[in-house]
Amino acid sequence: MFLKPLKIKSQTAIKGSDRKKLRAELEVQFPSLPSDQWTDLVPNKEEMSIMKIYSHSGESVVVYVLHKNPIFFEVNRCLFPTVYTLWKNPDIVPVFTTWPPVFEKISGGADLMLPGIVVKGDVTPRSLWSLEKGAICAINLAGNRCPVAIGRAALSSSDMVDSGMRGKGVIVIHSYLDHLWAAGDKGQLPIVHDGLAPSENFEENGEAEEMSEENSETFGEKPESAGIINTDNSLSDLTENQLSIEKSYCAAGERDDNGLNSGVENSNNRETEDVTVEESNIECQEETISPEDMDDLLDMCFMCALKTQVKKSDLPLLTSKFFRSYMVPFCPSGRFLDIKKSSHKKLSKFLQVKQSQGLIDVKELSKGVESIVTIHKDNQSLREFSVPEGFTFHEEVQDEETSGAKASYQPPEITLMYSIPHNMVILFKPSGYMKDGVLVASEVREALVKYVKENDLQDKDNKGQVVLDPILTDCLVSKNDYVTHLRWEDLTSSCLSKLQVVHQITFPGQKPVIKKGKIQLIKINVVQRAGNKKVTLLENLETYGIDPHEFAHTVQIGVACSTTVSPLPGKNKGMQILVQGNQVAHVGKLLTEKYQIPQKFVSGLEKAPKSGKKKR
């Protein structure tokens, strides 16, 4: 789950009530640990926070952080301890032991197979902890009690024994060296001896190793013909091997589902991997950059924009446009401008500081909208300023909301269609359609015309009407109605109303997908929150292939306001974007012009603020 970079949505200090609630939930879920030890794991007065993140697959995860180390994470209302917690309390959950070479495959995304589990004594359900399927369990390495991974049992202990210890044993969710571990202090795996030598009875041969390279998920299965390795590897050798993996991981910046550092091993994917590593580095910077560093970056981009880009003819200039179109393009590659991570917190306060320094004049030309009206080119600091190396104006960033949408997104082709239910098959069978066949409206009309002509049902006195035979009557007329004739228009509309509505959506380069019902519209809504503040809410962007996180970022740049993305209540309901203020006009223009979504698929455009002067 955490093999690829994470997206942090928010991180806030935990409340006292949340601490008590967490402690109570943990005591219920992990009863093996004495109650007095929960105070040490979830202390009352230590620095602790709640971090909400999204995994690379988009799954929402809540992480509880103590002293900058994640200690528990919650997925689907189930709490899991992290490796940091397991190192302090190895017995908090049942632990399966495996051989040290298996860890490289686990850290690369593989699950633990049953043949790779080390069992002392006879293999019985009791020696396998008498677990139920899906129970939380950990994995450690022979010779060390400290776990290296946490996950769920793929089978119950009884089923593991009945299967002859073949197949998948533990579905790994989080492991040492993944990105959740990297969100902490990146502490090394402690060594707590368990009395079992790391090399004791470990079996493998060339065939097993080759099989593990082809499919990492089968690693740990030992063929019957395997021999016994006689090796003197010590636990220190194991630690050195793990450290070498950690160093290579830190150098590459990321891992993928196919193993460690695939970008180094596969030169054909190097360009893609470089992009991913760069994005990962940006995310790391976003987490660690200090307010002082962000202040310096803002100051530098501000001075570069005033010195080289803003002309007298550009004034008055909206402060939001100045930030978006003049300051952001000067940001060096691999870095970013985020006013919220500076000491100013708001663009208006930052510009007030610059006004007090005699560089610019800012005025509110219309209510709530500030503009830069004067630039003092004779200011000594501005005259003496020269653009440093590394700060160049990137024109492609200047209109990111236009070019980004066009370059990375192409709208789908959406077609309203109709599916044939079983009671209407007899009407469409002459045209070659069967049950659940799909047609567009024109094909429905053609099938009706063919049926009427073949059965000579057109009224000879009034060719604009059709005589209803028993089949047409059963398919199109309600039981309580007595109708003998229908006009062509009424015949078609009545038939369409009896068919099941479906829609076909086709993305460029992909096969068409047919789904039941009408397509969900993109919903735009404006709600009022506390303090008479309004926010704009957007839903159903994923239906049209629009990434909510990318769209929120584009809106944030376009209107210079904060945006958040959060999952909607319920299972698989999609994501909701919240934008500060009534931004319906900007969002609607972005969807219809830049993303080329037809207006008929967007609801709520009428909620844009009305333009024009107020009557006195």
- Model pLDDT for residues 569-598, shown as the tens digit of each residue: 766 677 899 999 999 999 999 999 888 899
- Model pLDDT for residues 97-114, shown as the tens digit of each residue: 999 999 999 998 899 999
pLDDT band for 177, please (50, 70, 90 cuts). very high
Helices (H), 54-146: 83-88, 102-107
**pLDDT score, position 525:** 94
Distances (CA, A) of 78 to 29, 75, 89, 302: 9, 5, 19, 47
Strand partners, 505: 414, 513
Q: Three-state DSSP class for 552?
A: helix
**pLDDT score, position 9:** 80
- Model pLDDT for residues 36-46, shown as the tens digit of each residue: 777 788 888 88
Top pLDDT among 535 and 574 is at 535
Residue 367 has pLDDT above 50, yes or no: yes
**pLDDT score, position 270:** 37
| Lowest-confidence region among 11-15, 166-170, 222-226 | 222-226
Mean pLDDT score of the chain: 79
Top pLDDT among 397 and 481 is at 481
| Lowest-confidence region among 247-256, 366-375, 522-531 | 247-256
| Lowest-confidence region among 22-26, 68-72, 235-239, 449-453 | 235-239
Supply the DSSP symbol for 81: E
Parallel, antiparallel or unpaired: strands 575-580 and 60-66: unpaired
| Lowest-confidence region among 19-28, 152-161, 218-227, 354-363 | 218-227
- Model pLDDT for residues 198-253, shown as the tens digit of each residue: 544 444 433 333 333 333 333 333 333 333 233 334 344 444 444 444 444 443 33
Q: Does domain 522-607 have CATH number 3.50.30.30?
A: no
Name the nearest CA neighbour of 338 among 116, 553, 570.
553
Cα atoms found within 13 Å of the Cα of residue 367, Cβ hemisphere only: 4
Q: DSSP per residue over 229-279, as a string?
A: ------HHHHHHHHHHHHHHHHHH--EETTEETHHHH-GGGHHHHHHHHHH
Read off the pLDDT of each residue in 482-507 and give the average, rounded to a whole number: 89
Q: Which fold is adopted by the domain 7-256?
A: Sulfate adenylyltransferase (3.10.400)
Q: Which element (helix H / strand E) includes 79?
A: strand 78-81
The percent helix, strand, coil of the chain (3-state, each to 5) is: 40, 20, 40
* Cβ contact 612:580 at 8 Å: no
Strand partners, 137: 151
**pLDDT score, position 197:** 56
Supply the DSSP symbol for 329: G
- Model pLDDT for residues 47-81, shown as the tens digit of each residue: 899 998 988 877 889 999 998 899 999 988 899 99
Cα–Cα dist 319/363, whole Å: 10
**pLDDT score, position 353:** 93
pLDDT band for 82, please (50, 70, 90 cuts). very high
Sign of the dihedral through C-alpha 541, 544, 547, 553: negative
Top pLDDT among 378 and 250 is at 378
For domain 421-498, give the CATH number.
1.10.245.10
Cα–Cα dist 496/485, whole Å: 17
Cα–Cα dist 339/454, whole Å: 72
Q: Cα–Cα–Cα angle for 589, 590, 594, nearest 5°?
A: 110
Percent of the chain with pLDDT over 90: 33
Q: DSSP per residue over 159-213, as a string?
A: HHHHTTS-SEEEEEEEETTSHHHHTTT-PPPP----S--TTTT-B--HHHHHHHH
Residue 278 has pLDDT above 90, yes or no: no
Phi, psi values for residue 176, rounded to 5° = -60, 135
**pLDDT score, position 499:** 92
**pLDDT score, position 25:** 87
Top-confidence range, 34-43, 502-511, 522-531: 522-531
Cα–Cα dist 32/602, whole Å: 53
* Cβ contact 151:170 at 8 Å: yes
- Model pLDDT for residues 428-443, shown as the tens digit of each residue: 988 888 888 899 999 9
